[in-house]
A and B are shown apart, each in its own frame.
Chain A
Amino acid sequence: MKQKKSLAENGMLISILASVISIVVGLLFGFILLMILNPAKAGIGMSAMLTTGFSSMDQFGKVLYQSAPLMLCGLSVGFASKTGMFNIGASGQYTIGAFCALVGAIALQLPWYCCLVLALVGGGVWGIFPGLFKAVFNVNEVITSIMFNWIGMFMVNLLYANMPIMLASAWGASNSDRSAALSAANRGAIIPKAGLDKLFGNSSWINISVFIAILVAVIVWFILEKTTFGYELKACGLNKEASRYAGINANRNIVVSMIIAGGLSGLGGGLYYLAGTIQYVLEKRILSMGFNGIPVSLLANSNPIGTIFSSLFISYIQVGGSAMQPNFSSESTDIIIAVIIYLAAFALLTRGLIVRLLTGRNRKEGKA
Chain B
Amino acid sequence: MNLLANIISLTIVFAVPLMLVALGGMYSEHSGVINLALEGIMVIGALCACFTLQAMDKNGFGPVHPQLSMLLAILVAGLSGMVFSLLLAFAAINLKADQTIGGTALNTFAPAFAVVVTWAVQGQGLTTIQIPSWIRITQATFGLEAGNGFFDSLIFKYFYLTTPIAVVLFFAAWILMYKTRFGLRLRACGEHPQAADSVGINVYKMRYSGVLISGFLGGIGGLAYTIAVGSGFSSSVGGYGFLALAVMIFGNWKPLQILGSSVFFALFKVIAAYNSSIPFLPKLEGLKDKSSLYQMLPYVVTMIVLIFTSKNSQAPKAEGIPYDKGSR
- A-side interface residues toward B, CB under 8 Å? 33, 37-38, 86, 88, 129, 133, 137-139, 142-144, 146-151, 154-155, 157-158, 161-162, 284-286, 291, 294-295, 298, 325-329, 331-335, 337-339, 341-342, 344-346, 348-349
Given contacts A161-B289, A161-B292, A285-B239, contact A329 B101 (CB under 8 A): no
* B239 and A286 contact, CB distance less than 8 A: yes
Task: Select from chain B the residue with minimum beta-carbon distance to A129.
Answer: B303
Give the distance to chain B from A338, nearest Cβ to Cβ, in Å. Answer: 3
Give the distance to chain B from A309, nearest Cβ to Cβ, in Å. Answer: 20
* B101 and A158 contact, CB distance less than 8 A: no
Contact with A158, one of B87, B292, B299, B300 (Cβ below 8 angstroms): B292
Closest 7 CB pairs of A and B: A334-B112, A338-B109, A161-B289, A154-B296, A342-B105, A341-B105, A346-B97
Q: Which residues of B contact A37 (CB under 8 A)?
A: 116-117, 120
* A326 and B116 contact, CB distance less than 8 A: no
Give the distance to chain A from B252, nearest Cβ to Cβ, in Å. Answer: 13
* A325 and B108 contact, CB distance less than 8 A: no
Give the distance to chain B from A72, nearest Cβ to Cβ, in Å. Answer: 19
* B112 and A338 contact, CB distance less than 8 A: yes
Interface membership of B163, Cβ < 8 A: no
Give the distance to chain A from B189, nearest Cβ to Cβ, in Å. Answer: 19
Contact with B293, one of A86, A133, A158, A326 (Cβ below 8 angstroms): A158
Interface membership of B238, Cβ < 8 A: yes
Contact with B112, one of A88, A149, A335, A346 (Cβ below 8 angstroms): A335
* B310 and A138 contact, CB distance less than 8 A: yes
* A337 and B95 contact, CB distance less than 8 A: no
Interface centre among A150, A157, A342, A345 (most CB of B within 10 A): A345
Given contacts A139-B310, A341-B104, contact A154 B295 (CB under 8 A): yes
Encode contact with A along B303-328: 1 for CB under 8 Å, 0 otherwise: 10011001100000000000000000
A338 to B95, CA, bound (A): 17
Does more than half of chain A's interface fall in helix, strand or loop, or is it mixed?
A: helix
* A349 and B295 contact, CB distance less than 8 A: no
A162 to B288, CA, bound (A): 6
Q: Which residues of A contact B96 (CB under 8 A)?
A: 346, 348-349
Given contacts A143-B249, A146-B245, A151-B299, contact A329 B239 (CB under 8 A): no
A348 to B293, CA, bound (A): 43
Interface membership of B127, Cβ < 8 A: yes
Q: Which residues of A contact B91 (CB under 8 A)?
A: 342, 345-346
Interface membership of B129, Cβ < 8 A: no
Task: Select from chain A the residue with minimum beta-carbon distance to B110.
Answer: A338
* B302 and A342 contact, CB distance less than 8 A: no
Interface membership of B223, Cβ < 8 A: no
Q: Which residues of A contact B242 (CB under 8 A)?
A: 146, 149-150
Q: Which residues of B contact A139 (CB under 8 A)?
A: 306-307, 310
Interface centre among A143, A335, A339 (most CB of B within 10 A): A143
Q: Which residues of B contact A331 (CB under 8 A)?
A: 111-112, 115-116, 235
Interface membership of B106, Cβ < 8 A: yes
Q: Which residues of B contact A161 (CB under 8 A)?
A: 288-289, 292
A154 to B152, CA, bound (A): 34
* B249 and A88 contact, CB distance less than 8 A: no
Q: Which residues of A contact B296 (CB under 8 A)?
A: 150-151, 154-155, 158
* A329 and B302 contact, CB distance less than 8 A: no
A-B contacts, 7 listed (Cβ < 8 Å): A133-B307, A139-B306, A146-B242, A147-B299, A149-B242, A328-B119, A335-B116
Q: Which residues of B contact A348 (CB under 8 A)?
A: 96
Q: Which residues of A contact B306 (CB under 8 A)?
A: 133, 137, 139, 143-144
Give the distance to chain B from A63, nearest Cβ to Cβ, in Å. Answer: 20
Encode contact with A along B58-101: 1 for CB under 8 Å, 0 otherwise: 00000000000000000000000000000100010001111111
Interface membership of B193, Cβ < 8 A: no
Q: Which residues of B contact A162 (CB under 8 A)?
A: 287-289
* B239 and A150 contact, CB distance less than 8 A: yes
A150 to B39, CA, bound (A): 14
A118 to B136, CA, bound (A): 51
